[in-house]
Amino acid sequence: MTVTLTITDEVAADLTAKFGNPGLAALDALAAEAYEQGTLSLA
DSSP state of 4: -
Least Cα distance to 14 among 25, 29, 28 occurs for 25
Rounded Cα–Cα distance for residues 37 and 43 (Å) = 15
Residue-range domain boundaries for the chain: 1-43
Q: Are 19 and 25 in contact (CB under 8 A)?
A: yes
pTM over 0.85: no
The pLDDT profile of the chain, 43 residues, written as one tens digit per residue, is 888 989 999 999 999 999 999 889 999 999 999 999 999 998 8
Residue-level pLDDT at 43: 81
